[in-house]
Amino acid sequence: MELLGYDRVNGVGVRNHVVVMATVGCAGDAAEKIVQLYPKAKLLVHTQGCAQTPPDIELVEKVLVNLALNPNVYSVLLVSLGCESVSVDKVVDKISSVKNVEVVRVQEKGLSYAVSKGFDVVKRMCEDAEKVSRTTVDFSEIKVAIKCGASDSTSGIISNPVAGRTADLIIEDGGTVIFGETTEIIGAEHILEKRAVNDIVAKKMYKAIDEMEKRAMSMGVDMRGGQPTGGNIRGGITTIEEKSLGAICKTGSSKLVDVVCYGEVPSKKGLIFMDSPGREMEALTGFAAGGAQIILFTTGLGAPQGFPIVPVIKISGNPDVCRRLKEHIDVDLSSVFYGQESLDDAAKRLFDEIIEVASFKPTKAEILGYEKFFNIYVKGPVI
Amino acid sequence: MYQRKAIVVNELDNVASALTDLRKGEIIEVKVGNIVYRVRLASDIPFGHKFALKKINRGEHVIKYGEVIGRAVKDIEVGEHVHIHNVESLRARGDLKKSE
């Protein structure tokens, strides 16, 4: 299987974005103003990067680097404040060995200067990016992340089983599938355990789930209402176990080959689990940092989010939502809900959509510009 | 268009999920494998919500996808709405840890 993509030194891109990325929350305004002046560039702003414990600062650095290295990104402008805990030099070093990266600092000569300089850099980068064109690339270079969000009862019965069958097709064709949402394995881990390639992978998965469950329990409350969310409960999901059993349907039936840390690029091909929370901003960020070029996103209640540098394909098996939120849903599975299309046929349709989106077709979230969702998942306190 | 009113995912399940808004008193026939359940609904069941196919006693497991999704905190009669008012989760219960 082949598609049209951007052949880069570190993999295949399905988009050719110039990225304006803040290194710290306090530089977000400057980054945003640059993109307002030059909207072809993609904005990545977040709330992390300073006054956190060293392991979290290192994690933020790793995620910033790995996001920049995502093959969908052509080149990067880092927007720094100047005094943040994150080592901008370290981040630049790691990116510059693979692609063009430049930095503007607000504390150098103020906001106006940083924005003006940043605008010039981004304009030049975008002009350079336009000189690059798509070529035929192999599908096996593609990593597809799968997420579910704003789930209801149709997620576990329709959209996740379809996504799972598509995941199997991707892996049969040599591709990689990443799933995460550690919280949403709680209660379903015994099923995934049977699919782990070995005990080490199974143990890594259990460790991640155990730590997530303990973190939730450390608050001394029943986490219901937070997970499952209020929306999930209104949609008919009663417990985290029920949510998880529906959620893991999206992983298909392939063997689980590895477990990676948050934002880490998998070294193996096949089905990969990334330790990550269920919340969209952090989960999508982790997958994009892990090198996913495309994200499949199943939804029951109608999650609209995209991601700045990765096309996010929205899939729903809730006929009412598909009708009301047509402008957000890329793949309408109402026909499966009504028994007019099999799960397998719908999975093939979804697979074809992936190839089209990878090669040229914009997603609904890209068209609407509903894609300013970015945050880095840290485990320690703000200090 | 014919629409199924409810679905049972697995033969082991003791709950079904509504595929449309269902009314109290409606008789729902739902099939899974070779088993056919005929259930009179004891309350309105909104789209996507669950109702009991069998009596589930307090303390017994609620089963969906053929797996345990929680525990009944009170007796649940056939046809009753099964949700957060009568089912508790068995996982990530920081509240129970505190009272231990």
Using CA atoms, how far residue A142 sits from A129, A308, A361, A370, in Å, is 21, 18, 16, 23
Q: How many domains does chain B have?
A: 1
Residue B19 inside a domain? The answer is yes
Search chain B and give the residue with CA nearest A235: B48
- Residue type at A110? G
Q: What is the pLDDT at residue B98?
A: 54
Q: What's the pLDDT band for B4 if we cut at 50, 70, 90?
A: confident
Q: Is B95 on the interface with A (CB under 8 A)?
A: yes
Write the DSSP symbol of residue B82: E
Q: What is the pLDDT at residue A103?
A: 98
CATH number of A89's domain: 3.40.50.2300
Helix axes A54-69 and A88-96, enclosed angle (nearest 10): 30
Residue B1 inside a domain? The answer is no
Q: A18: which strand partners? A: A75
Residue B30 inside a domain? The answer is yes
Residue B35 inside a domain? The answer is yes
A256 and A355 share one domain: yes
**pLDDT higher than threshold 70 for residue B99:** no
Residue numbers in A near B9 (CB within 8 A): 156-157
A106 and A196 share one domain: no
CATH number of B55's domain: 2.30.130.110
Range of the domain at A28: 17-131
Search chain B and give the residue with CA nearest A189: B67
Q: Which residue matches tokens 């219960």?
A: B93
Look at residues A103, A131, A159 and tell me which one is the last residue of a structural domain: A131
Contact B68 A235 (CB under 8 A): no
Residue numbers in A near B69 (CB within 8 A): 187, 238-239, 241-242, 245
A347 and A300 share one domain: yes
Residue A308 inside a domain? The answer is yes
A153 and A194 share one domain: yes
Residue of B46, B83, B93 lying closest to A217 (CB–CB): B93
Contact B47 A236 (CB under 8 A): yes
3-state SS, residue B16: strand
Q: Which residue matches tokens 């109608």?
A: A302
DSSP H or E segment with residue A298: strand A294-299
Contact A187 B97 (CB under 8 A): no
Residue A218 class from Cβ within 10 Å (0-12 exposed, 13-18 middle, 19+ buried)?
exposed
Global pTM reads 0.96
Q: How many domains does chain A have?
A: 2
Q: What is the pLDDT at residue B2?
A: 56
Q: Which stretches of chain A drop beneath a pLDDT of 50?
A: none
A76 and A147 share one domain: no
